[in-house]
Each structure stands twice: as C-alpha cells, then as structure tokens.
Structure 1
Amino acid sequence: MPPSTGLANAVLTGLVTGSIVALGAIGLALVYNIAEVPNFAHGELLMLGAYMALFVNKPDTVPVFKELVTASRTLDALGLAVLFVLAAGSALAAVYLLGGTPALKGSWWPGDPSPALALGVHALAATVLGVGVTLGFPSIWAGLLLSALMLAWIAPFLEKVVFQKFRAKDASLATMLIVTLGLSFVLRFGTQAFYGGQVRTYVVPQVGNVFGYDVGLSAAKFFDFYVTGGGLTMHVIDTGPTPDEAMFTATYSWVALLGLVALTLGAAFAVYRWRSGGAEGYGTSHTVGPKLSGAVAGVVTFTALVFLLAGGGSVPNSSALSTRIRISVMRASVIFIAVGMMASLHFLLQETKLGKAMRASSDNIDLAKITGINTDRVMMATWIIAGAFAAVGGVMLGVLFSQLTVNMGFFLLLPMFAGVILGGLQSVYGAILGSYIVGLSMDVGIYAIPNIGSTYRIPIAFAILFVVLLVKPEGITGGS
C-alpha cells in the first residue's frame, strides 16, 4: 500500500501558496510604503492579470477579440498583429508613464544618454517582447508575458488618473482607503460586464519538451519516502503515463544522511563566515549578504549531495515511517518564478539608482524630494513593479486552481494584507517572509487540525497573525 501525504506535503503546498501570496503582497507593500496607498484594489489587479493572459492562451473566449480567431485557439494575421501591438505598445506605455516623451528618450537612464540611442533601445526591446508574445502564442507562458506587460502600464495609469488626483488634494488615509475600495468594485464588475460571470480556465499543456525529452507538466509526481532500520529510501513515481511509471529509486544509509546534513551545514556556515568577514569579505550591505549567501550555498550543496550520495535500491516491504509528497512541474514552477522575481527585485532595490531612490522615498518621501530625487518617477516605477508582480501572481493563481473568476483576487486580498502586516508594514522583505508564513499556516493548519475543511484556511492564517502581533505588534521584521 503506497504511503499517504503528510506534514511534508502540507509544507510544500504551503510554500506554493505562500509564493502566490508573496507576489501580490510585494506590490501591496511597495505601494503602501512609497505611494501611501492602502490599495484594496490590489486583488483586482491580480484578477485583471489572470484575465489578460486569455488574449494569448484562449483568445476565442475574449469578447470582441474572438472575432479574429479563425479556428479553436488559432489567430489570423490581423489577430497576431493585434497581439504584437498589445505587447510592444504596453512596454512603451510603461516607459512613457515614467516621465512622458523624455522618459522614452532616456531621461530615466543613469547618466546622460543620447535620445536617439534611448529611443532605439526602447523600440528594440518593445519589438523583441512583441515578437516573443506572438511567437509563443497560444502558450500560457506567452500569456504570462503579455499579462505582465499589460499590468505594467495599467497599474501606473490608475495611479496617474485616480490616486495622484486625491494625493494632490491631501486626501486622508481613510479617504484613500475608500477610493481603493470603490476602484476595486469598478474593476471587478467592469471585468464581469466585459467577460461575463462564467468560470474560465487556461489550456495548460500536459507534456512539454525539455532538451529533447518529454516531461509531464501537469501530471503529479509522487515522492515517496520510507524510513527503515538501514536508512531512507526515496521512490519517485510519474502519474503522467498509464499506468503510473516509476522514475527512479534511491537509498541513503544513515551514515550518508549524516554526512549530507553535516556537509550542507558546513558549506552554509563557511560561506556565511566568508561573506561576513569584514574587509576580507563582502559584508552585509552588499546585494548578496552573509545570510542569503549561506542559504544559497546550503541549498546548492544539499541538492548536489542528494544525487552524489544516492545508492541503488528498491521499495522496502515494510518501514517504520513513510510519507508522500505530491508535486507537479507546474506547481514547482510557481515557486521558481516567484523566487526569481524576488531575486530580481532584491537586485533592483540594492544595486540600482532607481532602487536606492525607492528606498529613500520609502523612508521619507519629503526628504527624498528635497535631495533631488524625482519622486513622481519613483512612484510610477513602484506601480509598474506592483502591476507586473500582480499579473504574474494572478496567472499563477489561475494555473494552480484551474479556474478564473472575477472574485479570485478579492479572495486573496486578505492573505496578502495578512502577509504584509505580519512581516512588518514598512518592509518589503517582511512582506515576503510574512506571506510565506501565511501560506504555510493555511496549508499546514488544515493538515494539523483534523476534521476541518479548506474553508478555515484563511481564519487559521489570521489566528497566527493575531498571536504574532500580540507578541510583536510592529511585525516580525519590525519594519526594518
């Protein structure tokens, strides 16, 4: 009898959930810290992002645009041209919102670039993105790219035509909150009026080709673990073929497991000491500080040793303990995409002129303005980032749950706010940490507490939030 899923599977599911919550919470925290907008319409940005991907993935379900569909999920030349214009135009629109025509001529670049060069680079980049979307049609990944490009100008456009007007009149925080609530209803029911209220889905391929090999993307992979007197056995099963197919079996003796743990911790600690070595190291102020360096070194070492120390074997007839982890390539991609985007944001905040301006504006926007920072451009850049992150989160949410509804963003809004508050309102990194704690508490909670359904996932997350805030009202990171 195969093992059943347990705590390990709940933790992995929580990491997937936390990744989606984090993609939304990052934009929520950035907008609140810099633009001072408690954006209750942020969930609708995720929803819009999910629906924008339909232009590429299922164009025959998009009103008006479906007239350009010649067959099921097939566009004519005019339809592909429209997709190209949507993608390339969105890229240029996002740059334009950074400062109008001067931004297209490179005013937001460091230094003093040639206007002709900047225009050429922007046009080339927009063309490459447009070609990427049209060549990728009707892939969900091309839909993800179009969605991110569309929200990268829609979000700052909303800032320009709505929030900026109220901020100019010194609207109070309560007024801004009401405005965002009103905007959320407009976006939600406007989308429903255009698309209709029925549940929609993406077309996600079952099999993908990776380096010449067919890999099941949606089919679950079962990682079965058996603890015996001799050590640990891992058995991996692919549910894509019929019947299920065993991929490989690896056995680790207790000595090998002890060595794996010792070498992993040793590598992580060694890299940590090297990076925090003062004049001989890089120091904590650099992009990749000691803690992050040590964590990355530990993960890389652990992954390498898992393959190097694996011995052959077979599934044991009996075991003292067994458990199963269920994952698919699509679910794993949620984590990898989220981590990749977070790493890009970290680099932007720490190593670019724009990122430093964003951090200065977050600390004190009035002081930043006095010191010569273009705070209007910083706000627009903040909304661009928030929109792109929200779009990716929305598409990943649609892929994960295999359905799109106009309420999908609203249902994720509370976990996003919980993640931001739990981590610390003044810290983007705190929002990331808080989001993963919220995701883990939701999925581990319904596993740990028997006889309750998924309906209680969000209440469990808020129970954790209340407990943490009672101990540390400023959040886990204390706003640092």
Structure 2
Amino acid sequence: MPPSTGLANAIVTGLVTGSIVALGAIGLALVYNIAEVPNFAHGELLMLGAYMALLVNKPATVPVFELLTQAQAARELTAVGFAVLFLLAAGSALAAVYLLGGMPALKGSWWPGDPSSALALGVHLAVAAVLGVLVVVGFPSIWTGLLLSALMLAWIAPFLEKVIFQKFRAKDASLATMLIVTLGLSFVLRFGTQAFYGGQVRTYVVPQVGSVFGYDVGLSAAKFFDLYVTGSGITMHVIDTGPNPDQAMFTATYSWLAALALLAATVGVAFAAYRWRSGGAEGYGTGHTVGPKLTAALAGIVTFVALLFALSGGGTVPDSSAFSTRIRLSLMRASVVVIAVVMMGLLHFLLQETKLGKAMRASSDNIDLAKITGINTDRVMMATWIIAGAFAAVGGVMLGVLFAQLTVNMGFFLLLPMFAGVILGGLQSVYGAILGSYIVGLSMDVGIYAIPDIGSVYRIPIAFAILFVVLLVKPEGITGG
C-alpha cells in the first residue's frame, strides 16, 4: 500500500501558496511604503495580469482580439494579429519607460551618468523590439503570455498612479480617503473586466509534456516523492504519474550513517559560509547584497542536493517501514516557487545595488527628506508602481496556472492573505512582507492538515488566527520595520 500524504506534503503545498501570496504582497508593501497607498485594488491587478496572458495563450477567447485569429485554427493568429501582439509588447515596454519621466526618460534621463540621447533612445527601441519579437516567436506558450502580461501591467499600474492616486495625493487626501478610492477602483476594474470578458470561468492551455535535454517530462502530471524510514535507513522513491501506468523515476536508499553525514556536511558548509560572509570571528565584514544568512542558506541547499545524489545507493521500495509519507508535486507547481524566488532575488539586487534601489529605500524611510536631498521622488514613485505591476502580473498568471481557472474574483480572494502577509511581516519592510507571506501560506495549508475536519473553506481564517496571535506578541510585525 503506497504511503499517504502528510505534514511534509502540507509544508510543500504551503510554500507554493506562500510564493503566490508573496508575489502580490511585495507590490502591496512597496506601494504602501513609498506611495502611501493602501491599495485594495491590488488584487484586481493580479486578476488583470491573469487575463492579459489570454491574449497570447488563448486569443480566440478574448473579445475583439478573436477577430485576429484564423477561423480554422482558434490558436493561430493572422499576420495582423501577430503585428498587434508585437506592438502591445514593444509599446508596453516603451510606455513603462515613458512614465518614468516622459520623453527625457526615453532619451536616458533615468540612466546613471549623462548618456547620449540618441544612444539611450536607440537602446530603448531595440530592447522593446526584442521583447516584441520574443512574444511573437513564443506564441502561444503560457510563458510568453506571462511575459506580455508583465509588460502590460508594468505600464497600467503606474498609469493608474498618475491619473488617479497622484491627483488625490496632491490634494493631501487622508489615508481613509485613499482607502475608499482604492476600493472604488477595485470594483471598476473587476466589473469592467467582467463586462469585457464575460463572467464565465476561463482556463489556460498548459502543456502536459515538455522536453528537457531531449527527454520528455510531464509538466502538469504529479510526481510522487515517497519516503520510507526503516531500521537500516531512509529510502526515497520518485514516481511519475504522467505515463500510463505510473512509472518509477528514481529510487535511492541512504543508510543512517550516510544520512547523518549528509546532515552534518550540510550544516557544516552552511555555518562555514555564514562565518566567511560575515567576516569571520573578528566580525569585520561589510554589508553584502548576498548577506551571511542568504549565503549560508544557498550553500546549504547546494551541498544538500549534491550529496543527495552522491551518497545515494541503489535500492528497492521496502515491504514494511516504521514511517512513510508522500509528497505530491508537479514541475508546473515547482515552477511557481522557482519563478517567485528568482524575482525576489532580482528585487533584492535592485534594492541593494542600484541607484534606483537606494532612492526607493530612502523614499520609503522619509519621502520628504529624500526630496530635499535631490532624489527624484516622482520617478521613484513610478518605478515602484512599475515593479508592483510586474510582480502582480506574474502572481496572477501563476495563480491561474496553479488553480487551472480564471475568474474576475480571483484577485479579490487573494487580497486578504496578501494584506495578512504584509501586516504579519511588518508594514515598513518588503522583506517582512515576503516572510509574512510564506508564514501565511504555510499556516493555511498546514492548518488544514492539522485540523482536517474544518475543511479548506477555513484556510484564510486560520491564517488570520496566526496573524492575531503574532500581533498580540509583537504589534509591529515580525521584522519590526
């Protein structure tokens, strides 16, 4: 009898859920900290991002755009349709740059130093053209839809800031007023999308099989990672449910000595990496983009994975075991975590190592002081919304892929977990928002596992119960600013 899913599976599922929540919460935290907008319409930005991907993935289901598809093949575009896609992608990239400061921004005013106007304009046009070509060549892949969606939300979000929120901020609107404005905008976006697309549930076309180094790999089919604990050691058995019947992919047995060696080596390398990055025993280290804790985590993960294969011995599934559990994961679900982590890494680099990132951090601390010191806070504001829009788009598309359906309410249902993640982590820290989001995701899925009788409908209340407990102990949030 195969093992059943347990706590380990709930933790993995919680990490996937937390990644989706984090992609939305990052933009929510950035906008609140810098633009001082409690954006209750942020869920609708995720929803818009999810629907924008349909322009590439399923163009025949998009009103008006369906006229540009070939009648005999719903997922094929006419030449005019491909031209429109190219213009949407390239135009969105240029529009995002334009919103940083108009034509001077297109001519390089936001670049460091004093670049040639012709050179900067040429680079912007070339990059926009490359992005347009990528969207056309990649049609109708869901990943190409993800790219187009991110490009479009990267100008739609700052455009909303420019035409709506900036006007209210100029009139010194109170926080309560801004909250009502964002609520009103959320209804406009949600029901406007419903009026255009209709109220029916939509889905993406996601490939079932992909090619990796010449081998066909099931992308959507679940992979079962079965773990067996016996008196002689630990056995890991990986099953691919894509083929019919199910096919064993990998079986490895680790003796208790090998398991202890793996654990000791992982902890040792992680500790050594931490000491090295922090400056050793003398403590003379300086700040790094990849700090001591992150270095230790990365070194530990790499060591663990490498030794996992190096120390594995061929084995078979045991007839009996003292303990067994199963983790259910597909490559598509794993890609959600990978994409989220990569985007967080890019954001971390931007905040720590670029002039724009330093300006964003200064504006977050004190926007008036930042303005006095010569920082172009209007450009920082636009850049913040561009980043928030792009993250929201990726989160929306990943949410549609994860749950295999798109509805106009999908972003609204995720809004409360996003706010819970931001508040739990600490309102003044984007890193706190990331940490809080993963705690929210884990609490939702682990909570359902721990209390199975209450049902999945109580996933969000469980997260808020954790939120209340943490805030009673530490009202300023986990990171405390």
Q: Which TM bucket (shorter chain)? A: over 0.9
Q: CA RMSD in A?
A: 1.0
Counterpart for residue 2 of structure 1: 2
Q: 1:137 to 1:370 in 2, by over 3 A?
A: same
Q: For the residues of structure 1 that align with 2:60 and 2:323, how far apart are their CA atoms?
A: 50
Q: Is the 8 A contact 1:20 1:393 kept in 2?
A: yes
Counterpart for residue 416 of structure 2: 414
Deviation at 1:213, TM superposition (A): 1.2
Counterpart for residue 328 of structure 1: 330
1:457 maps onto 2:467 in alignment: no
1:259 maps onto 2:265 in alignment: no
Q: For the residues of structure 2 that align with 1:277 and 1:386, how far apart are their CA atoms?
A: 35
Q: For the residues of structure 2 that align with 1:228 and 1:438, how far apart are their CA atoms?
A: 34
Q: 1:249 to 1:149 in 2, by over 3 A?
A: same
- Give secondary structure in 2 for the equivalent of 1:72: strand
Counterpart for residue 371 of structure 2: 369
Q: Is the 8 A contact 1:274 1:281 kept in 2?
A: no
Counterpart for residue 152 of structure 2: 150
- Give secondary structure in 1 for the equivalent of 2:453: coil
Counterpart for residue 36 of structure 2: 36
Counterpart for residue 268 of structure 1: 270
Please list, as runs of the form range in 1=range in 2, the aligned pairs for 1:443-454 lying within 5 A after superposition: 443-454=445-456
Number of corresponding residues: 479
Counterpart for residue 104 of structure 1: 106
Counterpart for residue 54 of structure 2: 54
Q: 1:430 to 1:453 in 2, by over 3 A?
A: same
Q: 1:284 to 1:43 in 2, by over 3 A?
A: farther
Counterpart for residue 123 of structure 2: 121
- Give secondary structure in 2 for the equivalent of 1:314: coil
Q: For the residues of structure 2 that align with 1:249 and 1:342, how far apart are their CA atoms?
A: 33
Residue identity matched to 2:188: V
Which has the higher mean CA deviation after the structures are superposed, 35-44 or 448-457? 448-457
Residue identity matched to 1:374: N
Please report the TM-score for the alignment, with normalisation by the length of structure 2.
0.99
Q: Is the 8 A contact 2:279 2:286 kept in 1?
A: no
Q: For the residues of structure 1 that align with 2:252 and 2:410, how far apart are their CA atoms?
A: 41
The structure 1 residue matched to 2:301, chosen from 289, 299, 302, is 299
Q: Is the 8 A contact 1:284 1:290 kept in 2?
A: no
- Give secondary structure in 2 for the equivalent of 1:4: coil
Deviation at 1:209, TM superposition (A): 1.0
The structure 2 residue matched to 1:228, chosen from 227, 230, 253, is 230
Counterpart for residue 21 of structure 1: 21
Deviation at 1:72, TM superposition (A): 1.8
Q: Is the 8 A contact 1:23 1:389 kept in 2?
A: yes
Q: What are structure 1's unaligned runs of at least 5 residues? A: none
Counterpart for residue 79 of structure 2: 77
* CA deviation string 1:277-334 (max 9, x = no partner): 1699883521011111011100110010100000000000000000000000000000
Q: For the residues of structure 1 that align with 2:301 and 2:196, how far apart are their CA atoms?
A: 46
* CA deviation string 1:104-162 (max 9, x = no partner): 00000000000011011101110110000010000000000000000000000000000
Q: For the residues of structure 2 that align with 1:49 and 1:440, how far apart are their CA atoms?
A: 25
Please list, as runs of the form range in 1=range in 2, the aligned pairs for 1:260-409 lying within 5 A after superposition: 260-277=262-279, 283=285, 285-409=287-411
Q: For the residues of structure 2 that align with 1:284 and 1:430, how far apart are their CA atoms?
A: 22
Deviation at 1:379, TM superposition (A): 0.2
Q: For the residues of structure 2 that align with 1:69 and 1:283, how far apart are their CA atoms?
A: 59
Aligned-pair identity in percent equals 87
Deviation at 1:212, TM superposition (A): 1.2
Counterpart for residue 169 of structure 1: 171
Deviation at 1:261, TM superposition (A): 0.5
Deviation at 1:450, TM superposition (A): 2.5
Residue identity matched to 1:24: G
Q: For the residues of structure 2 that align with 1:185 and 1:285, how far apart are their CA atoms?
A: 44
Q: Is the 8 A contact 1:23 1:338 kept in 2?
A: yes
Deviation at 1:459, TM superposition (A): 0.2
- Give secondary structure in 1 for the equivalent of 2:165: helix
Q: 1:279 to 1:381 in 2, by over 3 A?
A: farther
Q: What are structure 2's unaligned runs of at least 5 residues? A: none
Deviation at 1:210, TM superposition (A): 1.4
Q: 1:278 to 1:170 in 2, by over 3 A?
A: farther
- Give secondary structure in 1 for the equivalent of 2:321: coil
Counterpart for residue 94 of structure 2: 92
Deviation at 1:211, TM superposition (A): 1.7
Q: Is the 8 A contact 2:21 2:441 kept in 1?
A: yes
Counterpart for residue 11 of structure 1: 11
Q: Is the 8 A contact 1:283 1:290 kept in 2?
A: no
Q: For the residues of structure 1 that align with 2:98 and 2:445, how far apart are their CA atoms?
A: 42
* CA deviation string 1:61-114 (max 9, x = no partner): 000000011022110111011000000000000000000000000000000000
Counterpart for residue 206 of structure 1: 208
Deviation at 1:435, TM superposition (A): 0.1
Q: For the residues of structure 1 that align with 2:135 and 2:47, how far apart are their CA atoms?
A: 20
- Runs of 4+ in structure 1 deviating by more than 3 angstroms, as ranges, are 278-284
- Give secondary structure in 2 for the equivalent of 1:226: strand
